[in-house]
Amino acid sequence: MVTLHDIRAAQTLLQGIAVRTPLFEWTSAPDRRKLFLKLENLQPIGAFKLRGAYNKVASLSNEERRRGVISYSSGNHAQGVAYAARALGVKAVIVMPGNAPKNKLEATAALGAEVVIVGPGSEERRLRAEQLAAEHSYVIVPPYNDEKIIAGQGTVGLEILEDLPTVETVLVPVGGGGLISGVSAAIKLSNPKVKVIGVEPELAADAQASLRAGRIVSFPAEQVSQTLADGLRTQSIGAINFEHIRAYVDDILSVTEDEILEATRALSANPRTLAEPSGAVAAAAFLFHADELPDTAINVAVISGGNIDPKFLAQFPNR
């Protein structure tokens, strides 16, 4: 399990690399329920994934760095690993699904990574990455099931507590579980009174199903690949992530595709809060599932990324 010391060490390491992103008050003055947005869309790669990826790659030995790294991702972790590898002078190979948004594929290649294309299933890209790692001796940088990754993502939680000590509930998107593992550990180990709620698409609600069942539940690739939230199209959470979720997360909610779309539309009205669908799910829960959330006045939703497909954004002409 990741400790508070691990997360604080990652915070020190990330100084000058990851942006300390601001909290933006999204609700209007008369609202009793305040919502602050943690704007991870403002990171250099447009998403929180830089934190964990850099913390992991920077932790490798010189010998491991010489071998190069490989990862697998639907987009944002791909960019995080490519960015970190370029900064540290390490070769990077990324296995990505062919249905990843074009802007994420192009951005990963532009950062100097070699991109390998496979089918839509998250398990397919993991298996391909493991095969290539065995063939070429690359070091695997997992997208979520890794303590260095979790510690890096946990720095988001530390910043929330430092900038808003009165926070009562934090809403966090859930894909493979790296972000919520780190954020929940940082928050609960610092202030156990704060509620941590995960949010994921109904079509990819495997983390919610896992928490309810008390064991890891996997969803079929054909189903999860249908959600608009391309960054949350994981078929199951990681084993290490599940340990952290069971220990520190209060609940996990799911949101519909229409709710994700409406939240994305609402956030797109302001360039600072522009979110891709994956980054909008936490705000969607606040907007449409108040009856399932803790009755708290000071809330934070993590906007995990803003790498929205320009073609998708074009459907909001009046934003």
> Over the chain, what HEC string results?
CCCHHHHHHHHHHCCCCCCCCCEEECCCCCCCCEEEEEEHHHCCCCECHHHHHHHHHHCCCHHHHHHCEEEECCCHHHHHHHHHHHHHCCCEEEEEECCCCHHHHHHHHHCCCEEEEECCCHHHHHHHHHHHHHHHCCEECCCCCCHHHHHHHHHHHHHHHHHCCCCCEEEEECCCCHHHHHHHHHHHHHCCCCEEEEEEEHHHCHHHHHHHHCCCCCCCHHHHCCCCCHHHCCCCCCHHHHHHHHHHCCEEEEECHHHHHHHHHHHCCCHHHCCCHHHHHHHHHHHHCHHHCCCCCEEEEEECECCCCHHHHCCCCCC
* Percent of the chain whose predicted confidence (pLDDT) is above 70: 99
Task: Return the closest-CA partner of residue 46 out of 312, 264, 274, 212.
Answer: 274
pLDDT, tens only, 207-249: 999 999 999 999 999 999 999 999 999 999 999 999 999 999 9
Residue 318 confidence class, pLDDT cut points 50, 70, 90: low
pLDDT for 319 equals: 52
Digit-coded pLDDT (tens) for 99-108: 888 999 999 9
At 122-171, the pLDDT tens digits run: 889 999 999 999 999 999 999 999 999 999 999 999 999 999 999 999 99
- Rounded Cα distance, 230 and 278, in Å: 6
**CA–CA separation, 252 and 211 (whole Å):** 8
pLDDT given for residue 233 in this prediction:
93
pLDDT at position 46 over 60: yes
At the top level of CATH, which class does the domain 4-44+146-313 belong to? alpha beta
Under 8 Å CB-to-CB from 191, ≥6 apart: which residues? Answer: 161
**pLDDT score recorded for residue 35:** 97
Which amino acid does the sequence have at 230? D
Q: At what angle do helices 4-13 and 147-163 cross, to 10 degrees?
A: 80
Same CATH topology for 4-44+146-313 and 50-140? yes
What is the C-alpha separation between 5 and 11, in angstroms, rounded? 10
Quick check: 317 pLDDT over 70? no
Q: Which residue has the higher pLDDT, 31 or 170?
A: 170
Task: Tell me what percent of the residues of the chain surpass a pLDDT of 90.
Answer: 92
Q: Average pLDDT over the chain, rounded to whole?
A: 96
- What's the token pair of residue 59? 């932790």
The confidence score (pLDDT) of residue 181 equals 98
The CATH number of 50-140, from 3.30.450.20, 2.102.10.10, 3.30.70.360, 3.40.50.1100, is 3.40.50.1100
For the segment 291-310, the average pLDDT, to the nearest whole number, is: 96
Q: What is the pTM of this model?
A: 0.96
Measured between alpha carbons, how far is 56 from 20 in angstroms, rounded to an integer? Answer: 18
The residues spanned by each domain of the chain are 4-44+146-313, 50-140
Higher pLDDT, 70 or 27: 70
